[in-house]
A = this chain, B = another copy of it.
């Protein structure tokens, strides 16, 4: 139950069969919905020289009615298509930032869907504006589109243009592009955000997570490498690796919280990573207790790991209301205090008079944890031992999660003992750094753990980067 928010999810498909691409992308986006619930969109290259698209605020099944899906298919089943889900930033209304972004440039119509966050966005935007550029959104996709368009004038093909601009882009980006005749998928050289390759029949799919490929009924092939540019057209798939540095900095929070447990990310099962984190945690912070419970849904895998390793029985401690949507009303202060109970209700008989180990994925601000511990006390729990399946969150993230300031981070302000007291727990244990390194169960997994360690894989150019998101969001909006 992290207070962090996902950045986005992307998916693309090139039609080498006779698939109804709009419908395929719909299924894939639906499986990526956990990566973004604010808005979603689909763009289809129907082979008539243009991209048809629909994008709007809302969940995938809300935006894409049968009628709308059909309108995307009516000009043909499609040559290639991409989709995007977007998470919720502070400002709800910036319609123009929704993706995919569809634009026309010298070589025709292209669409871009991007997951990530460029750390030198403002610098690049500034440079372009000085050359007369105009910006209609605050999205990385538009900036990347601009740079492709300007580079494309000098290149033979779009993939060359992309490879040539990649050294200029700093930060996290995994994006897919439809050009008039190709689908191109790109992952930044650090590989901050996941991107993988699959196939349905003869048609290649590129997606943020493998669960999307499985939900579509396709087969997972492999992860796309950091720095790799994958090009798919009627001649098949080609890979360009000029920007591959051989390193990797996948965001560790993909394993801890962002990705769906049934996904395989950079070779590791997300579910197993979380189970293993729980198991390590059990060895690092053992305790005598009667039951182990997880905070639904992101703490459940680690809780099973903790239970199995410790031999303490696993239990279901909370019922999470499945019908919470973005329209749920909490307009009164008194309601805010109740709000955790509305979403999460403890099962009294599962915890009453028991010593409870409570497993969660992270503590960001600390208020949610305090509420949950309090609910367990109210349901009669004797002891509550909080175990967190990640190290303390100490540093802002500039690569696409929405924590870009230390002001919100409880671990920056209080010691572990103080946090334990503040959330009302009987004991508190965080996964160690050492433990974190073991969770993937194989030695060569390299991640970005800057949020825990402060070791940023890229240089953060802008001193005022903390304000980057806010200024970016404010610059243009609906």
Is A150 located at the chain interface by the 8 A CB criterion?
A: yes
Residue from the list B101, B129, B307, B350 in contact with A105, Cβ < 8 A:
B129
Measured CB to CB, the closest approach of chain B to A212, in angstroms, equals: 10
Among A37, A325, A345, chain B packs the most CB atoms within 10 A around the CB of A345
Measured CB to CB, the closest approach of chain B to A262, in angstroms, equals: 4
Q: Is B135 a contact of A105 with CB atoms below 8 Å? A: yes
Give the complex CA separation of A69 and B331 in angstroms: 11
Q: Is A349 a contact of B53 with CB atoms below 8 Å? A: no
* Residues of the B chain whose Cβ atoms lie less than 8 Å from the Cβ of A93: 71
* A 143-158 contacts with B by CB, 8 A: 145-146, 149-153
Is A30 located at the chain interface by the 8 A CB criterion?
A: yes
Is A463 located at the chain interface by the 8 A CB criterion?
A: no
Mostly helix, strand, loop or mixed at chain A's interface?
A: mixed
Q: Is A324 a contact of B61 with CB atoms below 8 Å? A: yes
Q: Is A341 a contact of B131 with CB atoms below 8 Å? A: no
A138 to chain B: closest residue by CB: B104
Residue from the list B103, B215, B315 in contact with A345, Cβ < 8 A:
B215
A132 to chain B: closest residue by CB: B150
Q: Is B135 a contact of A106 with CB atoms below 8 Å? A: no
* Residues of the B chain whose Cβ atoms lie less than 8 Å from the Cβ of A129: 104-106, 149
Q: Is B109 a contact of A133 with CB atoms below 8 Å? A: no
* A 459-478 contacts with B by CB, 8 A: 474-478
Copies assembled: 4
Measured CB to CB, the closest approach of chain B to A258, in angstroms, equals: 14
Q: Is A130 a contact of B104 with CB atoms below 8 Å? A: no
- Interface range, A side: 35 or more
Measured CB to CB, the closest approach of chain B to A109, in angstroms, equals: 6
**Interface residues as binary, A20-61 with B (CB distance below 8 Å gives 1, 0 otherwise):** 000100110011011001000000000011111111000111
* Residues of the B chain whose Cβ atoms lie less than 8 Å from the Cβ of A315: 304
A307 to chain B: closest residue by CB: B314
Q: Is A316 a contact of B271 with CB atoms below 8 Å? A: yes
* A 439-475 contacts with B by CB, 8 A: 474-475
Q: Is B476 a contact of A104 with CB atoms below 8 Å? A: yes
Is A306 located at the chain interface by the 8 A CB criterion?
A: no
Q: Is A135 a contact of B478 with CB atoms below 8 Å? A: no
Q: Is B132 a contact of A149 with CB atoms below 8 Å? A: yes
Q: Is B101 a contact of A136 with CB atoms below 8 Å? A: yes
Is A313 located at the chain interface by the 8 A CB criterion?
A: yes
Is A240 located at the chain interface by the 8 A CB criterion?
A: no
* Residues of the B chain whose Cβ atoms lie less than 8 Å from the Cβ of A101: 136
Q: Is B476 a contact of A215 with CB atoms below 8 Å? A: no
Measured CB to CB, the closest approach of chain B to A470, in angstroms, equals: 12
Q: Is B323 a contact of A59 with CB atoms below 8 Å? A: yes
* Residues of the B chain whose Cβ atoms lie less than 8 Å from the Cβ of A152: 132
In the A-B complex, the 4 residue pairs with the closest CB atoms: A132-B150, A106-B129, A269-B349, A61-B328
A-B contact pairs, 9 of them (CB 8 A): A30-B323, A52-B477, A65-B329, A109-B476, A132-B153, A215-B345, A217-B341, A271-B347, A271-B350
Chain A interface (Cβ < 8 Å from any Cβ of B): 23, 26-27, 30-31, 33-34, 37, 48-55, 59-62, 64-66, 69, 71, 93, 96, 101-106, 109, 129-136, 142, 145-146, 149-153, 211, 214-215, 217, 260-262, 264, 269, 271-272, 297, 300-301, 304, 307-308, 313-316, 318-319, 321-325, 327-329, 331-332, 335, 338, 341-342, 345-350, 474-478
Q: A132-B152, A262-B319 are in contact. List 6 more A-B contacts (CB 8 A).
A: A30-B321, A33-B321, A33-B323, A51-B476, A66-B331, A136-B142
